[in-house]
A and B are shown apart, each in its own frame.
Chain A
Amino acid sequence: MNSMAPTFANWLDLFLHFASLSLLAVGGAITTAPDMHRYLVGEQHWLSDPQFSSSIALSQAAPGPNVLFVALLGWNVGLNAGGGPAAGWMAWAMALLGVLVTLVAIMLPSSILTYTATQWGHRNRELRAVRAFKTGMAPIVIALLIATGWLLSATHNEAARDWPLWLLTLCATLLVWRTKLHLLWMIGAGAVVGALGWV
């Protein structure tokens, strides 16, 4: 990537763009990933396509909230801006600045809104409208969870090739549902089975 020195205005632009996405991210930060791609890769050329994809894949593989893919995008933007890993400590410092800018921007506006709104909702939890909201939304969000599991499996859509993956998902579903087996054992087993090339 080009290593043009980013100006203060560039960082501010990045911050403001992610801050506005924060308020649009209904259903999770990942729903704004297509727009981040358009902005970072297509419009500003701050990231390469493979860097964008690997940021998302890595954050899925690591433990923790999925929103950390945003931190990795910021990391790579900063690293590129600082001249890449070869450029030494200056590039790493820029990478950390990138993490700070993107992560704070994606969380701050939505967090202020959520915190204020839920405190209000909690004080007024006996209101009929507040109770109706929680009662009405409960079945919807449960269905969304099951749909998410479905969609994650549906990216592998060739029955002849992907049936072992589906079987693995089915086993994990049954084990979590019916047993108290620790979740980490299951993730670990998935990693081993995958590394051995069985799925």
Chain B
Amino acid sequence: MTDPRTTVTDLAPRRPHSKTDLFLSFTVLALQGFGGVLAVVQRELVEKKRWMTREQFVEDWAVAQIMPGPNVVNLSLMIGGRYFGLPGALAALAGMLAAPLVLVLLLAALYGSVADTAAAQGALKGMGAVAAGLITATGIKLIAALDKNAMGLWVCIGLAAITFVAIALLRLPLAWVLLVVGGGACLWAYRVLGRPGAGAQA
């Protein structure tokens, strides 16, 4: 088990006080997450609570996305585990899931009565369009984190552009894009980091 005091807090200005704080914070942000929680995690944990820097968030998100399983579940486990070990991971995960689970089951039990109305379907459509915007904007904001990337900003933008074209326009399978573009990027980063003078702060 890692010692919680020597980890992310070296860089991020603040940290959660307790496992209850973790649980409640994750509950609050999960309940704001319509159409995906990621935009809210970025807004709350990086911009408001400042538990992590933008760069740390991108690193964690990269790992959460590569590992199998629900991304946001992985991210909760990682963030909670970093501060309070396994109990922290479970507290964050429980916060992320418990209240939304109850809500979605209630919604399912009530669904039959409103499913057919045009207003309900229109509202769903409108919320979906906004959610697409939230996710896009989160990605755009995180581009700034690439500024400190050891590969250099232009290499990063090139890699990002290739990935976007492959996934959004060519609709190639995610696993292949990760393997080819992601694998290539990691090899390149390995080379860059091995150069004399490459900083320890990647």
B143 contacts across to A, CB distance below 8 A = 142
The reply to whether B69 and A107 form a contact with Cβ atoms under 8 Å apart is yes
The reply to whether B136 and A99 form a contact with Cβ atoms under 8 Å apart is no
CB distance from B113 to the nearest CB of A (A): 12
- B93 closest partner in A (C-beta): A111
Q: Say if the beta carbon of A171 comes within 8 Å of chain B.
A: yes
The reply to whether B73 and A187 form a contact with Cβ atoms under 8 Å apart is no
- B70 closest partner in A (C-beta): A67
- B105 closest partner in A (C-beta): A75
B24 contacts across to A, CB distance below 8 A = none
The reply to whether B2 and A114 form a contact with Cβ atoms under 8 Å apart is no
Q: Say if the beta carbon of B36 comes within 8 Å of chain A.
A: yes
B89 contacts across to A, CB distance below 8 A = 115
Check A135/B193 contact, CB under 8 A, given A61-B124, A140-B160: yes
B120 contacts across to A, CB distance below 8 A = 195
A26 contacts across to B, CB distance below 8 A = 66-68, 174-175, 178
The reply to whether A190 and B202 form a contact with Cβ atoms under 8 Å apart is no
B162 contacts across to A, CB distance below 8 A = 143
Q: Say if the beta carbon of B25 comes within 8 Å of chain A.
A: no
Check A65/B160 contact, CB under 8 A, given A133-B186, A135-B149: no
- Which one of A61, A65, A114 lies within 8 Å of B97 (CB-CB)? A65
CB distance from B138 to the nearest CB of A (A): 6
The reply to whether A131 and B193 form a contact with Cβ atoms under 8 Å apart is yes
The complex places the Cα of A153 from the Cα of B188 at a distance, in Å, of 33
The reply to whether B163 and A115 form a contact with Cβ atoms under 8 Å apart is no
Interface size on A, residues (CB 8 A): 98
Check A135/B134 contact, CB under 8 A, given A113-B68, A191-B123: no
B66 contacts across to A, CB distance below 8 A = 26, 137
**B81, B118, B122, most chain A CB atoms within 10 A:** B122
Would you list which residues of chain B between 88 and 138 have a CB under 8 Å from chain A?
A: 89, 93, 96-97, 99-101, 103-105, 107-108, 111, 115, 118-120, 122-138
B1 contacts across to A, CB distance below 8 A = 119
Would you list which residues of chain B between 16 and 71 have a CB under 8 Å from chain A?
A: 30-40, 43, 47, 58-59, 61-71
A26-B66, A64-B103, A156-B129 given. 17 additional CB < 8 A pairs? A54-B111, A62-B103, A64-B33, A71-B105, A72-B105, A72-B108, A110-B70, A114-B69, A118-B63, A136-B151, A138-B58, A146-B168, A176-B141, A177-B141, A184-B32, A195-B119, A199-B122
Report which B residues bind A (CB closer than 8 A). 1-2, 7, 30-40, 43, 47, 58-59, 61-74, 77-78, 81-82, 86, 89, 93, 96-97, 99-101, 103-105, 107-108, 111, 115, 118-120, 122-143, 145-146, 149-151, 155-157, 159-164, 167-168, 174-175, 177-178, 181-182, 185-190, 192-194, 200, 202
* A-B CB proximity, top 7 nearest: A194-B126, A64-B100, A110-B69, A172-B133, A149-B136, A145-B139, A190-B130
